Structure 1
Amino acid sequence: MNKKFLLLGGLLLLKVHLFAQVTFPRNGVYDQRSRMYAFTNATLHTDYQTTLEKATLLIKDGLIEAAGANLQVPNGYVKVDLQGNHIYPGLIDLHTFYSMPEVPKPAPKNGPQMESAKKGPYSWNQSIRPETNASEQYKLNAKEAEEMRSLGFGTVLSHIPDGIARGSATLITLHEGLENEATLKQKAAAWYSFNKGSSTQDYPTSLMGAIALLRQTYLDADWYKKGGSAKEQNLSLEAFNQLQNLPQFFEVSDKLNVLRADKLGDEFGIQYIIKGAGDEYQRIAEIKATNASLVIPVNFPNALTVDDPQDVVMIPIADMKHWELAPANPAALAKAGITFSLTSSGLKDKKDFWNNVRKAIQYGLPDNEALKALTYTPAHLIKADNQLGSLKKGMLANFIITSDNLFSEQNTIYENWVQGYKYVVNQLPVTDIRGVYDLRVGGQTGMKLLVSGKAGNPEFAVQAGKDTLKVKATRSASNLLTLAYSPDKKSKKGENRLSGWIEDKTLKGEGITAEGTPVKWVATYSEAFKQAIPAKKDSAAKADVASLGKVTYPFNAFGVDTKLSAENIIIKNAMVWTNEKEGKLDNTDVLIQNGKIAKVGKNLSLAGARTIDGTGKHLTAGIIDEHSHIGISNGVNEMAQAVTAEVRIGDVVNSEDINIYRQLAGGVVASQLLHGSANPIGGQSALIKLKWGASPEEMKIPNADGYIKFALGENVKQANWGEAYGIRFPQTRMGVEQVFMDAFTRAKEYEQAMKAYNSSKNKIGTPPRRDLELEALVEILNNKRFITCHSYVQSEINMLLHVADSMGFKVNTFTHILEGYKVADKMKAHGVGGSTFSDWWAYKMEVQDAIPYNAALMHKVGVTTAINSDDAEMGRRLNQEAGKTVKYGGVSEEEALKMVTLNPAKLLHLDNRMGSIKPGKDADIVLWSDHPLSIYARAEKTFVDGILYYDLERDIKLREELKAERNRIVRKMMDAKNGGAAAESPALKKTQIWHCEDIGGIEE
């Protein structure tokens, strides 16, 4: 390259701000000439799928004029001969907080904060912040800009990561001009999350609360747009509506939240672009079905220090498997045809970015897909593909100059041009001198100078006879060179020290030998570059993907690598407990066909059906737990308000909970997942079947009735929460009654207003605001949603029955109901069932009158009575809990078994398809090794919808496989650590097991 061009280029690239900034006056004289450059002889990657050799890129005043081969360079352009170096479009990162203020941590509080502390006509909730505009808080951070440019990024989407509705993001180039010049789109996208951020307000306290809050915000915004603005001024709702035409981004913390966010968007016709967490490969089919585009991090986990075997047993197998498989996540997405972009977000050290991208390529991500994910896709997602992501006429002059293929370990990023301004990352060498040279030093000949490594940072060695001698070298930008090396491997005399210059791939100059003799030297180019010096393995070398562990469903211990499916089965010669009028049938067969119980009888047969010998064993309907809290993510209580009927456990079903498998091992086939008991009217239930390995949506029982949790007693009035919790109403038991009366009074008024508006022909005026809290209560009034009420004390049970009679609704089930024996007659008259504990008492004040005869006494009066667990551990031995009613109260064995099978099915309105062994019902059945109420009985096989989800024989095999898998990954982690990979100590993780009274759980 001609030095005068370098000088001229340097003058033109003085920090001057051209035509885009004419509205900014300057003090003094400044340069405003055009910036015109021609980059010639380049390997030009105009986009992720087009590469041109010996091509030219023309740019003028920050825009691309032309890109192609055989272009004529017009007069006036500064020519830059790149000599085969590469040009790529500038990279784009869609998930950054670049140049944004740090989000403050919530200040400590002395007690609950019920209302928003934000001043002004904004949302009632501090975590709804759509009025936040990132562009108004963007302040250039030169250090951050330099760090991102050094990775090859030229443009970023930046937002303030605070709140559930976070406001607008701004699209910014990494040019260090004034902010108005670097800003491409002031409001480029809207951002959301499930994290309440800096909000000090109590609501929401759970993930389901965060989802409910955002769902209600969409409805409120629609109401505001349709006339609600005439009734109130709300700057948050106004801003929320203004952002809806922008790309909608949603940040989540794991694969299941990808599904939850997408499902929420589907409710309102919105297709979110979801920033995931890198574990999407674990639910790839379900995530593909969302049709969502993703923004994916490459912050792969470090290996864990596994030297201490006591530590190893504490590490969840899911964490160990994720360490191994996380680098394959981008490849899995590409293979599945899922649109995604890559982000540097989440890296502890941004310098790891390229190592991790190359690792993703080693694990199967094609180079062109990686380039697409860093250029075209992010530009397309942010609707800026007319400016960014490729190198075409009229687009921004955002590009990087590299020495090699962008993804090669030998690559060096030389320059990053942003809006036509040059930023030097590494000094662009005037000449690529890599190759093999004939070396003569003084009178010594027959030597070779080997130059390898990166073009911008070459490595040198001298080959003298059989010796290959390492060389210490320095090279200046002006092509001056110094070399120092020992004359031979055994020499202790000193070093030959040479200095000189580079001239047309000939290296020459003068030096001093180890003996101190002045010499002249010359190295004459003889061969093209080859990797003469051993180098690190290039990214082109693929990892042995075949040796990787398999993805299991769920991604947990005892998961299976192929989802289980139904088969036709005949269970022969078992003692069949039908729970029907036939009672117990000895030496009887049951045919399972197409997921249903097809026949019950003797000597059954079906061609192709698998036969299971049930001789000496007992076959029962599967256990149904009417009151459970397993399989719930991030909080079982939304406790910040007295009425939270808007929240839904169905939004937060956790299919990965190991307790699902454990309860299958105890014969449980279905559960009602209930909200906790922190408030009088809690959230809506989820009714699930325990389909181990299925997705959350697949676990839900289709067409099941809706249920909701009510609560009475100590938990509701916050009796044991401490003095700070004396703010939220109610604080007394009589206050609880008033909450119910008030809530249903409001629900009736709401229903009347909705009916009046919807029945009017012209629908004149502002429609009533949809209120999800009140809609759930209206469903109760209309017998479309059913109450399960946490209860203990006789007086409160009477109170709720009185409220129900007064307001015109029914209570479906009293759960716990430990004083049910006192009011069984009233329960029978009302038509309410009881779901109780077998023999729990004395664990708090309001259970002092509990007795183990409770279930038997309610049953004898004619109340539909069930035994529930309310506990993950007890749920897997509900058969034994039911057996206690035989001892305490003399309930018959068959009626006792019904208390955990048919009776809970009746309480959940599922007895037409579950709870007994009858042709036509779902094949939810359990084969026991012994009498099903015995403490010695083991569930050997548990079927759900005819699928064998738990099998004792398979369980033994899975345990051995799990042990082998853990040991395999331990060895792999140790090899990685010994090979120099980063490793960190394992952190003790405690699995959260929810109970009625637990609070907390919002995503952090």
Structure 2
Amino acid sequence: MITFMPKSNFMKKILSFLGLGLSLFYSGFSQVAPVRGIADKDVEIKAYTNATVHVDANTTFKNATIVVKNGKIDAIGTQVAVPVNAVSVDLQGKHVYPSFVELYSAYGISEAPNKKGEYPVYESTNPGAYYWNDAIRPQMDAAGMFSPDQKSAEKWRKAGFGVSLSHHQDGIARGKGLAVTLGDGNTEENIIDLKNHAFFSFDKGSSSMSYPSSLMGSIALLRQAFYDAKWYSDAKPEKKNISLEHLSRQLNAPGFFKVSDKLDLLRAEKIAQEFGLSWIYVGGNDYYQNPDLFRNKNIKLVVPINHPKAYDVSNPLATSMLAMEDLKEYDWAPMNLYTLSKNGVRYALSASALEKPEEIFKEIRIALDAGANEKDILAALTTIPAQFAGIDKQVGSLERGKLANFLITNKPIFEKGSKIITNVVRGNGFEINPEPIADFAGKYLVQLGEKDFELSISEDKDSYKASLMSLLSDSTKHKVNVSTQGFGINLSFKLSDEEGYYRIQGRKSENGLKGRGSDPKGVPFNFSATSEEMEENENKNSEENENFPVSSFSYPMKAFGYPALPEKQSILIKNVTVWTNEKDGVLENTDVLISNGVIAQIGKNLPKANWTVIDGTGMHLTPGIVDEHSHIAISKGVNEGGQAVSAEVSIEHVVNPEDINIYRQLAGGVTAAQLLHGSANPIGGRSAVVKLKYGESPDEMLINNADGFIKFALGENVKQSNWGERFNSRYPQTRMGVEQMYYDAFHRALEYRKAKESARTAKDKPPYNIEYEVLLEILDRKRFVSCHSYIQSEINMLMHVADSLGFNINTFTHILEGYKVADKMKAHGVSGSTFSDWWAYKFEVKDAIPYNAAIMHEQGVNVGINSDDAEMGRRLNQEASKIVKYGGVSQVEAVKMVTLNPAKMLHIDNRVGSIRVGKDADVVLWSDVPLTQKAKVKYTLIEGKIYYSEDQEKAALERDQKQRVAIINKMMADKYGDKRKPTAAKREKMYHCESFNESSESHHD
């Protein structure tokens, strides 16, 4: 037992016991170093007694003992005998928890130098038998890079962590991680596990290579690397590759994948399913925004907890510019952990997103105030991360045989005022928050007989002073004599209306003080004193601690979000003028019945039955507008310009259904679009043909069974002649080179097919090549080309290339010199998707004229009017009206140029583009003739679902304004004491053909 001594000396001695760091004698070695001198055979044993021990999130022992021997738990429980030779530490009133496990850390790993320079790099700068792209580096091994960092370890220990799964946080394929304890020993003493934990991301990191330059490029590169690794494993080629050697093994190893948001998580999960992988995702902070996206996916998450901070909303003008999505993120993000638990998602917590790991307790408090469960959070810091890392036999809970990694706290760990006193790592105690073994200072409520008193105890140098005051009569303070010894406190005092002294002997308890006493007559009684802070916490109105949202949930969580996703309705539109785009032409005073997502009947005086009825008197009904050339709804880059041929990338992989431009274009009558890759290379990426289903999942936006398309490009952009002097090294640099690029790419694809067909063994068969497979689809007329074009000579060139290789160009987009080659376009069978009146914005469009569309139409070319611009996409009906003015095209044919004709270009005219029984109910109800400036959209329906209406918009505007005010008031009252973020308007990313990287600006004009 410990001999108690005066308070200050005792504190120093006991903390030295807790912090003992003697060398441990291990029972097993992988190697034995020679002993110099006489071997020290002392075995260190510690016993921590009288503690409330939280074995795991669901198991707690009171008055328990933990015996630690050689850095491991030798015994634990309520009936454990303390070994005679143990250093015993009395933890009366204290709590013990498993130390936390961090799964996403670079602890002990130095950062990679940034190799990015001023000029583009097209070949790997990493010499040796490695993968061709520097962003794929599975050969990186944290075990060979790890070096204990005591300064960093101390920061993590302050936050309660005892173990880190560290890795080299650089690149797309990042190599192996290493599980280590956060002690002060050498590397060997800290390593727990050498499992093949593999780490991945979509971030190419410090790689200086130009490729990839977009999210879709990162996805394509990773997929290709996996295909190469699978081939390498099967073929076992004589020519060895270190990167593929490691990556092929990692395909069967536990993996962690870092994602930036919920959409990236879905993208990574698709890759995992494609290759039969099981990843744990580091991310998921925005899971609360749409749990339906992850239904039945059985995902596992590591959540880097870091709630959004309140904005400085003191300036009303600046505050008015805050985006609704940022306001709702602040309001709803604290609900994330609650939502994860509610939906049964297994998650671990990480402090990796915080400037200081110890800030994790403040973040946890925010989540708890929003309804998160304490047991779930404790499990997310201990048992679950240990299980995810496969080290749960060593750490994560307090059990015999496991490492002695635990925290000693003064209170339950998530309670207000709780502090970590000591973080024990492998049996060595690290002092975190020194405090007296028993701190008696505070105010307490005491009942003596039938009278209530307030007992005040305060520190006085190395001792205490105290007073007692009645709560019912006068405010006279009675002096109290105080003496302390360890956990014990002795009190004696005399009340003015009684003779003799009260004498009390007590101990510190969770709720205050407890003990025994005797009154002035010597009658014994049980004594208790409740801490006023505890009383205040217990009696406080629970609503004061709540951090629940003041705004409503919506799909998506931003402006104009739907309270619930639109559902199919049976709708009868009466007495409307119908622009059918069929042989029936324009029908006056006609009824249209929509049922089960399709157009069910067209006629006059249709029975109303039980349908929702819309009076269309004086209004006009058209098919939904189809935009053949759009760049909205794309995440993190519209161009993969890192190399001249990018057929391996796909816009389908980066569809973003939450782009506010989707809603804006619904308000302009657009229901479908082709989301095109940009024009940075002769052969760009594949397209996504979508319906504008705002707030749905990316898969819901894609049109099922639609033909595949790909973007080609001609002109200045692809040869980089307008990119500046830094971009004069990538082939091609001339128009001649562009032509040869097409031939070379297709001939390489044909050679690839020949090699596949002639292969007799796995070693002879080439690895699956995404780029070549896509090019072969074009040659086989299974994928169709939409080509960015301007100049007559180049248009002729590409048609000749296609003819010579046996395929057709499907659509020339922009095609501002189409009027010069309309007859040849007709002969080739290619459509023209153009602007109505854009010209003179760069040299190669100097010959553009506003009669272009009309002339192509007169020659029998299928002509459409496209946007290529988020703003123009909102008013394509007006762009079509210009063709009536410039060229005298009829209004019926002009309407077709933004509906049926682009639907034909995209091969979806069997479903959309006209109003015919059996077609998809993608229709727009206009207030006036659709080509006039007075026409406003009243309703926009997709497959019978109302995605836009004037009434809905009015209600959404009123709702959003009220919620803005409520959230701003919540920010004003923010109680978490963070430094507020400066208020700034969110700059939207609006891509065009020329937008490069993730910028909303054009890289070149």
Fold shared per TM-score above 0.5:
yes
2:891 to 893, 910, 917: 893
Correspondence 1:766-915 to 2 at 5 A:
766-915=764-913
Given the superposition, is the C-alpha separation of residues 983 and 11 from structure 1 closer, same or farther in structure 2, using an over 3 Å criterion? closer
SS in 1 for 2:947: strand
Q: Deviations over 1:116-167 (max 9, x none)?
A: 1112111111111111111212111112212211222111111121111111
1:129 to 133, 137, 144: 137
Q: Give the number of equivalent residue pairs.
A: 957
Task: Show the counterpart of 1:659.
Answer: 661
2:979 to 967, 979, 982: 982
Distance across 2 between alignment mates of 1:499 and 1:103 = 60
Shift of 1:764: 5.6
Give the unaligned 5+ runs of structure 1.
440-445, 470-485, 490-495, 511-519
Task: Show the counterpart of 1:609.
Answer: 611
Distance across 2 between alignment mates of 1:103 and 1:536 = 51
Q: Deviations over 1:616-652 (max 9, x none)?
A: 0000000000000000111110011110000000111
Shift of 1:500: 5.8
Q: Is the 8 A contact 2:837 2:850 kept in 1?
A: yes
Q: Deviations over 1:46-96 (max 9, x none)?
A: 121111222232332222233223233454444333224222112111111
Given the superposition, is the C-alpha separation of residues 886 and 461 from structure 1 closer, same or farther in structure 2, using an over 3 Å criterion? farther
Shift of 1:705: 0.6
1:217 to 225, 231, 234: 225
1:450 to 447, 456, 459: 456
Distance across 2 between alignment mates of 1:845 and 1:116 = 35
Shift of 1:767: 1.9
Q: Deviations over 1:453-508 (max 9, x none)?
A: 9xxx9998744456999xxxxxxxxxxxxxxxx9989xxxxxx9999643662347
Given the superposition, is the C-alpha separation of residues 410 and 56 from structure 1 closer, same or farther in structure 2, using an over 3 Å criterion? same
Q: Is the 8 A contact 2:864 2:902 kept in 1?
A: yes
Q: Deviations over 1:376-403 (max 9, x none)?
A: 1101111111112112222222111222
Shift of 1:554: 1.1
Distance across 2 between alignment mates of 1:97 and 1:452 = 44
1:241 to 248, 252, 263: 248
Q: Deviations over 1:695-738 (max 9, x none)?
A: 11111111111000000011111111111111011111111000
Q: Is the 8 A contact 1:501 1:509 kept in 2?
A: no
Q: Is the 8 A contact 1:438 1:523 kept in 2?
A: no
Given the superposition, is the C-alpha separation of residues 645 and 535 from structure 1 closer, same or farther in structure 2, using an over 3 Å criterion? farther
Task: Show the counterpart of 1:513.
Answer: none
Task: Show the counterpart of 2:432.
Answer: 425
Indicate whether 1:620 and 2:622 are aligned: yes
1:337 to 341, 344, 364: 344
Task: Show the counterpart of 1:173.
Answer: 181
Q: Deviations over 1:897-916 (max 9, x none)?
A: 01110011100000001000
Q: Deviations over 1:549-601 (max 9, x none)?
A: 22321121111121111111000000001111111110101111011111111
Given the superposition, is the C-alpha separation of residues 234 and 262 from structure 1 closer, same or farther in structure 2, using an over 3 Å criterion? same
Distance across 2 between alignment mates of 1:196 and 1:575 = 54
Task: Show the counterpart of 1:413.
Answer: 420
Shift of 1:522: 8.9
The sequence identity of aligned pairs, in percent, is 48
Distance across 1 between alignment mates of 2:658 and 2:794 = 37
Q: Is the 8 A contact 1:17 1:32 kept in 2?
A: no
Shift of 1:438: 11
Task: Show the counterpart of 2:581.
Answer: 579
Task: Show the counterpart of 2:269.
Answer: 262
Distance across 2 between alignment mates of 1:24 and 1:432 = 46
Shift of 1:238: 1.0
Q: Is the 8 A contact 1:437 1:448 kept in 2?
A: yes
Distance across 1 between alignment mates of 2:332 and 2:463 = 34
2:966 to 964, 968, 979: 968
Q: Is the 8 A contact 1:434 1:458 kept in 2?
A: no
Distance across 2 between alignment mates of 1:544 and 1:438 = 27
Q: Is the 8 A contact 1:818 1:837 kept in 2?
A: yes
Task: Show the counterpart of 2:96.
Answer: 87
Task: Show the counterpart of 1:735.
Answer: 737
Q: Is the 8 A contact 1:577 1:618 kept in 2?
A: yes
Given the superposition, is the C-alpha separation of residues 462 and 608 from structure 1 closer, same or farther in structure 2, using an over 3 Å criterion? farther
Out of 221-230 and 988-997, give the one that drifted further. 221-230
Correspondence 1:581-730 to 2 at 5 A:
581-605=583-607, 607-730=609-732
Task: Show the counterpart of 2:498.
Answer: none
Q: Is the 8 A contact 1:302 1:323 kept in 2?
A: yes
Correspondence 1:562-577 to 2 at 5 A:
562-577=564-579
Q: Deviations over 1:294-328 (max 9, x none)?
A: 01122112110011112112211111111121111
Q: Deviations over 1:399-453 (max 9, x none)?
A: 11222222111322222221222222234644464787899xxxxxx98643599
Task: Show the counterpart of 1:296.
Answer: 303
Given the superposition, is the C-alpha separation of residues 35 and 813 from structure 1 closer, same or farther in structure 2, using an over 3 Å criterion? same
Q: Is the 8 A contact 1:643 1:682 kept in 2?
A: yes
Q: Is the 8 A contact 2:632 2:675 kept in 1?
A: yes
Task: Show the counterpart of 2:172.
Answer: 164
- In the alignment, residue 562 of structure 1 is paired with which amino acid? A
Given the superposition, is the C-alpha separation of residues 178 and 529 from structure 1 closer, same or farther in structure 2, using an over 3 Å criterion? farther
Indicate whether 1:138 and 2:138 are aligned: no
1:996 to 985, 993, 996: 993
Out of 807-816 and 180-189, give the one that drifted further. 180-189
Distance across 2 between alignment mates of 1:436 and 1:306 = 38
Out of 100-109 and 657-666, give the one that drifted further. 100-109
Distance across 1 between alignment mates of 2:988 and 2:845 = 28
Task: Show the counterpart of 1:506.
Answer: 489
- In the alignment, residue 590 of structure 1 is paired with which amino acid? V
Given the superposition, is the C-alpha separation of residues 23 and 7 from structure 1 closer, same or farther in structure 2, using an over 3 Å criterion? farther
- In the alignment, residue 55 of structure 2 is paired with which amino acid? T
SS in 2 for 1:608: coil
Shift of 1:864: 0.9
Q: Is the 8 A contact 1:452 1:532 kept in 2?
A: no
Shift of 1:26: 6.2
Shift of 1:288: 3.9
Task: Show the counterpart of 2:314.
Answer: 307
Distance across 1 between alignment mates of 2:995 and 2:935 = 32
Shift of 1:191: 0.8
CA RMSD of aligned residues (A): 3.0
Given the superposition, is the C-alpha separation of residues 658 and 11 from structure 1 closer, same or farther in structure 2, using an over 3 Å criterion? closer
Distance across 2 between alignment mates of 1:80 and 1:501 = 18
- In the alignment, residue 360 of structure 1 is paired with which amino acid? A
Task: Show the counterpart of 1:193.
Answer: 201
Q: Is the 8 A contact 2:553 2:563 kept in 1?
A: yes
Q: Is the 8 A contact 2:103 2:165 kept in 1?
A: yes
SS in 1 for 2:532: coil
Indicate whether 1:283 and 2:280 are aligned: no
Q: Deviations over 1:230-262 (max 9, x none)?
A: 2x3221111112323332101111121111111
Q: Is the 8 A contact 1:362 1:540 kept in 2?
A: no
Distance across 2 between alignment mates of 1:219 and 1:289 = 27
State TM-score, norm by structure 1: 0.90
Task: Show the counterpart of 1:493.
Answer: none
Distance across 2 between alignment mates of 1:459 and 1:508 = 11
Indicate whether 1:530 and 2:530 are aligned: yes
1:50 to 31, 54, 59: 59
Out of 674-683 and 351-360, give the one that drifted further. 351-360
Task: Show the counterpart of 1:483.
Answer: none
Shift of 1:872: 0.5
Given the superposition, is the C-alpha separation of residues 765 and 1000 from structure 1 closer, same or farther in structure 2, using an over 3 Å criterion? closer
Distance across 2 between alignment mates of 1:310 and 1:438 = 50
Q: Deviations over 1:173-220 (max 9, x none)?
A: 112111111111134511111111111111001010011110100001
